[in-house]
């Protein structure tokens, strides 16, 4: 259990920030799902998920993070197995097969895959350091580790989660260290692929044809929001209306027309930030962005001052993952990134996402609490 030294070393500021963001999220879900008969069942479910998440966050402090690292490959293999089960017997919703049902509950293994992949890559790079950085040939094994869940998630299809897997993994590789030659080669390869996509018609048609129709429509709507304002561009347009109508101080709690009159789709999940913007305005959204920024900076400090390479990579990977969540979700709400279905951490409705984020933050607390200790 937690001894007195570890308890004293806990970053209570990080815990307070986590609680503050979660409470803002509960308030937003309450408003976004409110019905004529009072609070909806979705709000009570989210309250349950947050409560369970808080308990698990503190439980994550009990084992040494090195122990978690030793089981990282087991967790990774388990997440792959769960993704395979989704393909065989997963529940379908909104055109995608992403959920596994256990009795009355359902969860998304792809959310767990993001965290397990982060931990597995952290262990791999911690156990195989390369003086001077990694060459591209050194990335064959971690590349395969990323590719397997990436393909399985794309099969669901879940482009947003696949994007998160790819970007988070890329940031972990950068934290682990790449030789400048490898960086230049990767930039050259990326530029070549992008050029081929835009300039070579057969390649462009092949990649475009591999996308699902709704994914194609979302990209069209992002490039030209006026092309289909009542169809594929509806979500993004309504979100921007909600964000803009909040102005400086917002319209007030449960007084947002876009959310309360159900003009804003997915208002309790993907577009919860737009609900906060409409009700609380620039001041409210500025506050939550500031809370995220401080939380992530504390996470960066945790990674910077971790006792060893494993702690640096685990903390850096978790901070990278949460940062991408925040950036992409807020970007969707204000129209600067395509709509890809990424939740806002601790705020959007969703059991698996909420609990996974609390576990990740619990591991950050774990690394922070042990950085001053000489023995584990």
| Three-state secondary structure of 21-56 | HHHHHHHHHHHHCCECCECCHHHHHHHHHHHHHHHH
* Number of Cβ atoms within 10 Å of the Cβ of 233: 22
Q: What is the pLDDT of residues 28-62, one digit of tens each?
A: 999 999 988 889 999 999 999 999 999 999 999 88
pLDDT at 37: 85
pLDDT at 89: 80
Q: Label residue 279 exposed, middle or buried (CB < 10 Å: 0-12, 13-18, 19+).
A: buried
Rounded CA gap, 68 and 360, in Å? 12
Q: What is the mean pLDDT of residues 66-91?
A: 91
Which of residues 191 and 94 earns the better pLDDT score?
Answer: 191
pLDDT at 8: 62
Closest residue by Cα to residue 173 from 128, 208, 222: 128
The DSSP letter of residue 178 is: B
Q: What is the pLDDT of residues 14-25, one digit of tens each?
A: 999 999 999 999
Tokens of 189: 């390869």
| Residue 152 CA, distance from chain mean position | 17
Task: Report how far apart the first and last C-alpha atoms of the chain are (Å, whole number).
Answer: 12
Closest residue by Cα to residue 263 from 232, 298, 237: 237
pLDDT at 211: 65
pLDDT at 200: 67
Do β-strands 91-93 and 105-107 pair in parallel, antiparallel, or remain unpaired? unpaired
pTM, entire model: 0.89
Tokens 């990436």, located at residue: 150
pLDDT at 374: 46
Q: What is the pLDDT of residues 333-376, one digit of tens each?
A: 998 888 888 899 999 998 899 999 999 999 999 998 887 654 44
- Report residue 178's pLDDT band, with 50, 70 and 90 as the boundaries: confident
pLDDT at 4: 57
The DSSP letter of residue 3 is: -
Q: What is the pLDDT of residues 214-234, one digit of tens each?
A: 666 666 666 666 666 666 678
Mean pLDDT for the chain overall:
86
Q: What is the pLDDT of residues 245-278, one digit of tens each?
A: 989 999 999 888 888 887 888 889 999 999 999 9
DSSP SS3 for 92: strand
Rounded CA gap, 37 and 307, in Å? 53
Tokens of 204: 């462009």
Contacts of 340 (CB under 8 A, 6+ apart): 159, 160, 163, 218, 328, 332
Q: Does residue 190 register a pLDDT over 90?
A: no
Q: What is the pLDDT of residues 285-328, one digit of tens each?
A: 999 999 999 999 999 999 999 989 999 999 999 999 999 999 99
Return the minimum-mean-pLDDT range out of 93-102, 106-115, 121-130. Answer: 93-102
Q: How many CA atoms lie within 13 A of 91 on its CB side?
A: 12
* Number of Cβ atoms within 10 Å of the Cβ of 81: 11
DSSP SS3 for 260: helix
Tokens 């989660």, located at residue: 161
* Number of Cβ atoms within 10 Å of the Cβ of 370: 22
Q: What is the mean pLDDT of residues 207-218?
A: 65
Percent of the chain with pLDDT over 70: 85
pLDDT at 129: 87
Are residues 354 and 43 in contact, defined by beta-carbon separation less than 8 angstroms?
no
pLDDT at 376: 40
């Amino acid at each position: 259990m937690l001894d007195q030294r570890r308890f004293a070393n806990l970053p209570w500021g990080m815990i307070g920030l986590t609680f503050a963001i979660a409470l803002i999220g509960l308030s937003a879900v309450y408003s976004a799902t409110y019905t004529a008969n009072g609070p909806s069942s979705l709000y009570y479910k989210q309250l349950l998920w947050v409560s369970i998440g808080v308990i698990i966050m503190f439980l994550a402090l009990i084992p040494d993070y090195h122990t978690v690292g030793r089981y990282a490959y087991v967790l990774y293999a388990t997440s792959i197995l769960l993704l395979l089960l989704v393909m065989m017997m997963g529940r379908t919703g909104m055109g995608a097969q992403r959920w596994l049902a256990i009795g009355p509950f359902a969860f998304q293994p792809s959310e767990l895959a993001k965290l397990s992949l982060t931990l597995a890559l952290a262990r791999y790079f911690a156990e195989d350091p390369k003086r001077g950085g990694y060459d591209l040939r050194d990335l064959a094994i971690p590349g395969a580790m990323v590719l397997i869940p990436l393909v399985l998630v794309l099969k669901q299809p879940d482009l947003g989660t696949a994007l998160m897997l790819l970007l988070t993994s890329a940031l972990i590789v950068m934290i682990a260290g790449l030789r400048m030659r490898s960086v230049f080669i990767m930039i050259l390869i990326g530029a070549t692929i992008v050029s081929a996509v835009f300039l070579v018609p057969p390649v462009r048609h092949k990649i475009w044809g591999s996308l699902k129709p709704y994914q194609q429509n979302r990209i069209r709507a992002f490039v030209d929001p006026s092309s289909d304002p009542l169809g594929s561009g509806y979500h993004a347009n309504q979100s921007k209306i909600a964000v803009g109508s909040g102005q400086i101080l917002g319209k007030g709690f449960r007084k947002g027309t876009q959310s309360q009159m159900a003009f804003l789709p997915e208002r309790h999940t993907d577009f919860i930030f737009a609900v906060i913007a409409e009700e609380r305005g620039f001041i409210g959204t500025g506050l939550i962005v500031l809370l995220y920024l401080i939380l992530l900076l504390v996470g960066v400090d945790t990674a910077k001052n971790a006792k060893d390479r494993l702690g640096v990579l685990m903390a850096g990977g978790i901070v990278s993952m949460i940062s991408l969540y925040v950036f992409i979700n807020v970007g969707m709400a204000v129209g600067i990134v395509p709509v890809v279905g990424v939740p806002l951490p601790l705020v959007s409705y969703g059991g698996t996402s909420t609990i996974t984020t609390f576990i990740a933050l619990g591991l950050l607390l774990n690394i922070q609490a042990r950085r001053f200790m000489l023995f584990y």
